[in-house]
Amino acid sequence: MDGMTKRAVCCAVGWCLLACLMLGEGLSFAEADNKLSISASAAVVMDQQTGQVLWAKNPHWRRPIASLTKIMTAALILEHCDLQESVVVSREAARTPGSSMYLRAGASYPVQDLLWGLMLASGNDAAEALAQHAAKTTENFVRLMNEKAVLLGAYNTHFANPHGLPDDNHYSTAYDLALITRYAMSIPEFSEIVASQRKVISDPLPGQQAGETGRPIYNKNRLLWQYEGANGVKTGYTAAAGRCLAASAARHGRQVIVILLDAPRMWEDAAVLLTYGLEEFENLRVFEKGQTVGTIGVAKGLSGVVPVVSAQDMWITISKSQRDAVEVDCAVYEGLEAPLPRWAPVGRVMVKVGAEVVAEAPLLAGKEVAPRTLSGMLKDFSHRLQKLLLAQ
């Protein structure tokens, strides 16, 4: 990009820099690292809307994750199954060790009831039953889990089962679990389940149909009772993993996810990090989809300059103390020349906080540029004439 083009683009985005610079005082990232006392071996705070990491401790350390596994299990079940489908519980599923919702072999339950038991009661038996129902075998379902992890960018994650019982080949990281939880919380049915304190589920006795009897189950996530705005997500524990938690809360129109792995003071850690993420940051829309960012030069065209627009809404999460660290930069492809169709990709716009790129989006040509040829001139004249006639 030549200097003139870069200046023209940056002048057009000056208003968003001003908006960022007008934010209030707060803790800087460096100060936060010193002031936050967290017991967890690994932790991440992530903004739900933008996916930005707001605070982290050993975010890429591979660790056992216990029942936080079930976040992925539930998300995949909601992708692959109808909530009203009937699941017949196998003997293998009913005998799954560890935390249980006490399913009976041979009994039938709707998918939705098993999901409630999976996420509220943390039923390992529900995880096995759902996995076998969705993919015929547990092994097939685990393959789906690992494929989905890659698609979500959770590259340091590997699942060996759908429930989280200890296995040397079953691990994830605080960062990867934040990505997975963010995705799961975008599914309305999932977010409804994990935000519920209590649910009465069908509990058929031998010879009865599902729904004829019922029993209440209660969410193990005490934040739903104790923390203002808490709306999920999942607890977990094994001796190998320690106390684990995926937590979510919403305030002031924002939602924050916290992942804690091996956290002796799990509830206290969660409250501190949720409050930090919700109170010390703000989300700003830098550009709207289709908003003109600036202009760039195009060679060999009837017009030597074309407006460029953002291909999507661009939001950033900014610390209220990072007033002087926000920059907007643009990178335009070299050698742009006519013919250039409208909406053709011409570069990228990037928003930085310090040296870190926190958001980026494609730049598109805001109008067509016809070549300086006879056919191009005729096409341009036709477009101009059409606009003139429509304006009358």
Q: Catalytic residue numbers? A: 67, 70, 122
Give CA–CA dist 169/62, Å, rounded.
Answer: 11
The CA-atom distances, in angstroms, between 202 and each of 105, 205, 206, 236 are 15, 10, 13, 24
Asked if residue 124 lies in contact with residue 103, where contact means CB atoms within 8 angstroms, the answer is no
Give CA–CA dist 158/176, Å, rounded.
Answer: 10
Instruction: Supply the DSSP symbol for 373.
Output: S
Match 């015929």 to its residue by tokens.
136
- Phi and psi of 210, rounded to 5°? -60, 135
- Phi and psi of 160, rounded to 5°? -120, -10
Handedness of CA 38, 40, 42, 44 (dihedral sign): negative
Task: Of 264, 229, 210, give the one whose Cα is nearest residue 43.
Answer: 264
290 φ/ψ sector (left φ>0, alpha ψ -120 to 50, else beta) = left
Q: How many helices (H) and strands (E) does the chain have?
A: 13, 16
Rg of the chain, C-alpha, whole Å:
26
| Tokens standing for residue 7 | 């200046």
Q: Which residues of 317-352 are buried (b: 16+ CB within 10 A; e: fewer)?
A: bbbebbeebbbbbbebeeebebbbeeeeebbbbbbb
- Beta-carbon-side half-sphere exposure of residue 298 (alpha carbons within 13 Å): 28
